[in-house]
Amino acid sequence: MAQRAGAIGGPVASGAVFVLILAALVAVTSKADWPVRFDASDWAVLRFTVWQAVLSAVLSVAFAIPVARALARRRFAGRGALVTLLGAPFILPVIVAVLGILTVFGRAGWISQTLGNFGLPPISIYGLQGVVLAHVFFNMPLATRLILQGWQAIPAEQYRLVGQLGLPARTVFQTLEWPMLRQVVPGALALIFVICLTSFAVALTLGGGPRATTIELAIYQAFRFDFDLGRAAILSLLQLVVAGTAAALALWILPPLVLQSGLDRPLVRWDARGLTHRLLDAGWIGAAALFLLLPLGAVAVSGAIGLGQMPSSVWAATWTSTWVAVLSTVLLVVMALPVAAWLGQSAKGSAEAITLLGLAASPLMIGTGWFILIYPVANPQSFALPVTAMVNAMMALPFAVRILVPGMRQSFADYGRLSRALGVKGFAMWRIVLLPRIRPRLGFAAGLGAAMSVGDLGVVTLFADPEVATLPLQMYRLMGSYRTEAASGAALLLLALALGLFWVCDNWGRHAER
């Protein structure tokens, strides 16, 4: 039955991911120079990596708290669309967002041009400030969504009580909102910190130089430019230790989530009805919307102009990215379904932490390891795209499993005993009971994985064939050759492709609810 399939398939899929990462780690370790020695440049890379991750996480959450509070307190036309927009940066290809940020905040961007009209110097975006700005663009919306869920979990009856008592907004914050933030904020900080530790495309395009090099970028430079496998191996091990330690500490220090019960009444806020509070909330919401919409609008405007200037190689790269994303999505679904069924039957929700290994492991470390394994027996360039699809599926697995597990757990709780009594098992259990009930979640998870894969600029940069490239890599090459208009057109095409793949998968899932 499905329970048995999950009990077997789940550990097998998880074990396969572990073996793939372990094989890469062993290969990397074999090329490291023992005993490992770190010079001054290595320590500088480590300090910058940790510092930019700390700054990015703190600033993302610091800005997200007032934005989430304002969204929780206000109801206005377009609120649902704005909340949906907060999820866009997570599926937005990184290289596209970086181009939009450069168009707005770069030395020749809109803001610098405006400052020039007043005789002021342009903004310098390259280096630490550019990396942190891009990370805040990506992760502030994610933090806002996470914290907003915490606000929405506070029962409406508690707000009704403080409204009847006439408590001011400051007291409401101290008694209701601050205890919630103490539970939610550490998790958001830890998640964003780990994500920023393993960021590559942002550092590749906005960092660089001795003072602005992350561990991921240093691995790429050691591998691609110097072909120093020993240094790449040492840096890969350092990245795994740092990210793995951060993930383990996050799981250890996070406080338990205390669930509160209510009667599911509509939420009405009686606090913060004064004009000052309304203006503050409107200011935070407007600033967040402007911060998100300006780069996206810049991509749309400049991309529409550059569509006619794209070389034919962009269309070939589009097809390559499409089939790599499809292959990655298929691998993701094949791995995620049995893992989710296995964890959905587990009494311990913390079992989902198994999938965090995919986040802690560096994609470039995995790519480097598999290059080392393939190189003695075949041309690694021939395997660049399949390895890219595999790594992309592994990187999306933690998110897909977290999306699917609650639905699996509810399905087993509601229909598991009845299915056993009726003898429904095996594929029939999946076809009749599980898949119809998790189809919306499965479509969303598949769409998320497809969008993340089609926009990835990671492993493929290590050993891709110069004649064969994915769309993000081709766009990066156009940017490097200063063909800005063509790169903008490719960015718009990449954005449409990512959103299109996400819509196809998500629409297939939501079709079950109609």
For the chain, give the longest Cα–Cα distance: 79
Read off the tokens for 470: 């994915």
Q: Is the pLDDT of residue 502 over 80?
A: yes
pLDDT for res 499: 85
pLDDT for res 263: 38
Rounded to an integer, what distance in angstroms lies between the CA atom of residue 341 and that of residue 319?
A: 33
Asked if 242 and 50 touch (Cβ cutoff 8 Å), the reply is: yes
Asked if 200 and 134 touch (Cβ cutoff 8 Å), the reply is: no
pLDDT for res 327: 94
Residue extent(s) of CATH 1.10.3720.10 domains in the chain: 1-31+310-514, 40-227+262-304
Share of the chain above pLDDT 90, in %: 6
Q: Is the pLDDT of residue 55 over 90?
A: yes
pLDDT for res 349: 44
Rounded to an integer, what distance in angstroms lies between the CA atom of residue 502 and that of residue 450?
A: 6
Rounded to an integer, what distance in angstroms lies between the CA atom of residue 239 and that of residue 241?
A: 5
pLDDT for res 74: 75
Which residues have CB under 8 Å from 115's CB, separation 6+? 121, 122, 123
Classify 396 as helix, strand or coil: helix
* CATH class entry, domain 1-31+310-514: mainly alpha
Q: What is the 3-state secondary structure (H, E, C) of 42-85?
A: HHHHHHHHHHHHHHHHHHHHHHHHHHHHHHHHCCCCCHHHHHHH
Q: What angle do CA 254, 21, 134 make, to 5 degrees?
A: 55
Q: For residue range 210-269, list pLDDT tens digits in order.
A: 677 888 888 888 877 777 777 777 787 788 788 777 766 665 655 444 434 333 344 555
Q: What is the mean pLDDT of the chain?
A: 77
Q: Please compute the mean of the pLDDT values over residues 68-79 and round it to a whole number.
A: 79
pTM (global) more than 0.75: yes
Q: Is the pLDDT of residue 106 over 50?
A: yes
pLDDT for res 235: 81
pLDDT for res 266: 46
Long-range Cβ contacts of 473-481 (<8 Å, 24+ apart): 473/317, 474/313, 474/314, 474/317, 475/95, 475/96, 475/99, 475/314, 476/95, 476/204, 476/205, 478/314, 479/99, 479/205
Residue keyed to tokens 């220090």 = 253
pLDDT for res 292: 85
pLDDT for res 262: 38
Q: Is the pLDDT of residue 312 over 70?
A: yes
Rounded to an integer, what distance in angstroms lies between the CA atom of residue 82 and that of residue 134?
A: 20
Rounded to an integer, what distance in angstroms lies between the CA atom of residue 13 and that of residue 33?
A: 33
- Work out the burial of residue 186: count CB atoms within 10 Å of its CB; fewer than 13 is exposed, 13-18 middle, 19 or more buried: middle
Name the residue type at position 459. Answer: V
pLDDT for res 422: 65
Q: For residue range 109-120, list pLDDT tens digits in order.
A: 788 888 888 877
First vs last C-alpha separation in the chain: 29
- Which stretch, 46-60, 72-86, 496-510, has highest mean pLDDT? 46-60
Q: Please compute the mean of the pLDDT values over residues 48-57 and round it to a whole number.
A: 91
**CA torsion, ordered 176, 180, 182, 185, to nearest 10 deg:** -140
Domain 40-227+262-304 bears CATH identifier 3.30.565.10: no
Q: Please compute the mean of the pLDDT values over residues 24-47 and round it to a whole number.
A: 78
Q: For residue range 335-385, list pLDDT tens digits in order.
A: 888 888 887 776 554 444 555 556 667 777 788 788 888 888 888 777 888
Rounded to an integer, what distance in angstroms lies between the CA atom of residue 247 and that of residue 241?
A: 10
Q: For residue range 161-215, list pLDDT tens digits in order.
A: 666 566 666 777 777 777 778 877 887 888 788 888 878 778 888 876 667 788 8
pLDDT for res 325: 92
Q: Is the pLDDT of residue 331 over 90?
A: yes
Instruction: With cut-offs at 50, 70 and 90, classify the pLDDT of residue 100.
Output: confident
pLDDT for res 57: 92
H-run or E-run covering 131? helix 128-152
Classify 255 as helix, strand or coil: coil
pLDDT for res 261: 39
pLDDT: which is higher, 3 or 20: 20
Q: For residue range 420-458, list pLDDT tens digits in order.
A: 666 666 666 766 667 777 788 888 888 888 988 888 877
Give Cα 99 distance to the centre of its chain. 18
